[in-house]
Amino acid sequence: MIDYGHFIGGKHHAGASGRYGDVFQPLDGTVRARVALANAKEVQTAVDSAKAAQPGWAATNPQRRARVLMKFLRLVEQHNDEMADILAREHGKTIADAKGDILRGVEVVEFSIGAPHLLKGEFTDGAGPGIDLYSMRQPLGVVAGITPFNFPAMIPLWKAGPAIACGNAFILKPSERAPGVPMKLAELFLEAGLPAGIFNVVNGDKEAVDSILDHQDIKAIGFVGSTPIAKYIYSRGTASGKRVHCFGGAKNHLVVMPDADMDQAVNALMGAGYGSAGERCMAISVAVPVGEGTANELMKRLVPKVEQLKIGPSTDSTADYGPLVTRAHLDKVLSYVDLGVKEGAKLTVDGRGFKMQGYEKGFYLGGCLFDHVKPEMRIYKEEIFGPVLSVVRAGKYEEALQLCNDHEFGNGVSIFTRDGDAARDFASKVQVGMVGINVPIPVPLAYYTFGGWKASGFGDLNQHGPDAFRFYTKTKTVTSRWPSGVKEGASFVIPTMA
């Protein structure tokens, strides 16, 4: 069995709290590893290490910092297969999906290599008589990221890449369900030349999280997870004077207009709804066909495809998706399917009886498809985070748009149509942070920002793109004048540049 401790100050540290958690292998239900759960003292050790290392890293020019990230990317490429295997075994997603997880993180680090340009300030020559004005971006100091189980490579790199490029020291508290890849990333950062103490991994649960939230030397925190926890972290973190951005739950809709390419829409729903067993914050969990004819045709094509989904262990390269992350999470998703039936939705495809031959103790669930779901049902209101797709029928376009706007969450949304005017109107009026037009999972590329609205996001700045560099730096503005021999008396009025 593997033992995961912590990675602090460039070294592996065994857990000292005496508390541990199990890390499961979802494909067969076995315990793969145990992970140490940090206490406040261990968090303090990580902060001390980061605080000692950060000034020297901040004084390293941005181009040299970028070179370390370049070498890190080469190492990630060399260890890609190894990390994908670890990720798939601890999360349950397929190897191909695991490699996509890593690549999406890599793309943000690639963007962060542009730090020499992204950190440039502004300069005004002659802003006033003999006066020059300029601004500079400076690192915050020690910052932290609290990241979820469903993207063990991508989200840590979304946080760490820009933070480190900006000259900060970073403390990662990854999900205790999938700590293997974050620990490997720490080793690769060190091998790439990142100074010891600049990237630290502290594994743990709520005790570690609260220690991070309350620590006065940690200046900013980024979080991705469920909305209740996002609210908690945002309120407690900001109350202790930190800069915080938190990204929470989702209930992403895909609107199918009567003129949509139905084959394209169905394939989009299949991949976006059931890929990674639905354990994505950008998964499509609600299909909204407009008009009864559209709904009937959509269901006619969806049902056989959902019935034919190939579910298998992460090691099966032909599987559409693998098991869920834990038995507890599987039971939670099953309870939602049971609830949907009780609420009166029509379960047209029931995946509850699925058993994986040879892997009977694995955490598998067949694809589930509900029709005639109503907005007042809990299976519509709440995030299920599993391979469950709900169809909510809308009579007309305006009703479909209103459904999206009225929902508590506002992470991602899509519309499938051939009508440019409808698409343009939808993009303008929908109250959701990320919009896809004939694109089912509208995750922006690394040089744009990622973030949801309403209960899906808390804080003024989003993830990756230019917002990340704003989040992990503070702006200093300098007003400069070099006297030319003219002596002036004291002025008691507000300074102007007149």
Active-site positions?
Answer: 281
Tokens of 381: 């209101």
Nearest CA to 322 out of 369, 274, 391 is that of 274
Cα–Cα distances in Å, from 298 out to 247, 264, 485? 32, 11, 81
Q: Which residues contact 320 (CB under 8 A, 6 or more apart)?
A: 274, 275, 309, 310, 311
Do the Cβ atoms of 455 and 283 come closer than 8 Å? no
Do the Cβ atoms of 130 and 484 come closer than 8 Å? yes
How many whole angstroms separate alpha carbon 109 and alpha carbon 338? 42
Do the Cβ atoms of 259 and 417 come closer than 8 Å? yes
Beta bridge partners of 218: 142
How many whole angstroms separate alpha carbon 340 and alpha carbon 338? 6
Nearest CA to 415 out of 248, 271, 286 is that of 286
